[in-house]
Amino acid sequence: MNQDELKKTVADAAIEVIAEQLTKDSIVGVGTGSTADFFIDALKEIKHKFDGAVASSIGSADRLRKHGIPVYELNVVNHIVVYVDGADESTRQLQLIKGGGGALTREKIVAEVSAGFVCIVDRTKLVDNLGAFPLPIEVIPMARSHVAREIVKLGGEPEFRDGFRTDNGNQILDVHQLTIEDPASLEGTINNIVGVVANGLFARRPADLLLVAGDDGITEYRHN
């Protein structure tokens, strides 16, 4: 199977997992990226089973609406039963790097609010240690150089994602060469740099269930 076929396979597997959790009143949290797009397309088939969705990006909201799925603002929603999203890297401990598509801050907010978080990846995203994928950091534009200098002190090599703005109007630094021994600790350290909006480490709120698509089918990982 090629990578797109794997992404579609794992998106379909997520539909099976979440379908049994949904009721007519349920709100589903929906992520961003090409794997999440396959999930949104599959979600259309069960849209009669739930009320609507909260999206982690404008792009995902548009795609949901195109399929006739109501999209709610997070502020008017009390409970999100489950959040489904892809990742750039995941460990078997369900800690992630996200933000390759630049939606990390909204993704982190929706993941935090959701009762469950199902992460869907193809086998190329499964790693022993996080950090080969450059860590995205969303920054307030005027603080970009300050944050970059602080990141260098942590051993990283920040690269400005030129010409890109997030849905929140901010900028992204992609950080190479970080040694990530303790993802939760580094997540907190980076968050404490003034001017950082959020970083792409999802370790303090990891996934609850990881579905990995490979040629032999789907492998599930949960916390021990």
Q: What b/e sequence results for 136-154 when a residue is b if at least 16 CB atoms lie within 10 Å of its CB, and e otherwise?
A: bbbbbeebbeebbebbeee
Minimum distance from residue 79 beta carbon to ligand 5RP (Å): 23
Contacts of 5 (CB under 8 A, 6+ apart): none
Catalytic machinery residues: 107
Q: Closer to ligand 5RP by CB, 34 or 146: give it.
A: 34
Q: Closer to ligand 5RP by CB, 144 or 161: give it.
A: 161
Residue pair 223/208 in contact (Cβ under 8 Å)? The answer is yes
| Length reported for the chain | 224
Q: In terms of Cα–Cα distance, which of 202, 194, 188 is closest to 117?
A: 202
Minimum distance from residue 19 beta carbon to ligand 5RP (Å): 21
Q: Closer to ligand 5RP by CB, 33 or 195: give it.
A: 33
> Which residue ranges make up the site for ligand 5RP (CB under 6 A)?
31-35, 85-88, 98-104, 107
Residue 136 pairs with which residues in a beta bridge? 174
Minimum distance from residue 52 beta carbon to ligand 5RP (Å): 21
Contacts of 133 (CB under 8 A, 6+ apart): 88, 89, 97, 100
Minimum distance from residue 119 beta carbon to ligand 5RP (Å): 9
Label residue 217 left, alpha or beta by phi (over 0 means left) and psi (-120 to 50 means alpha): left
Compute the distance between CA of residue 177 and CA of residue 158 in angstroms, rounded to an integer. 9
Q: Closer to ligand 5RP by CB, 131 or 152: give it.
A: 131
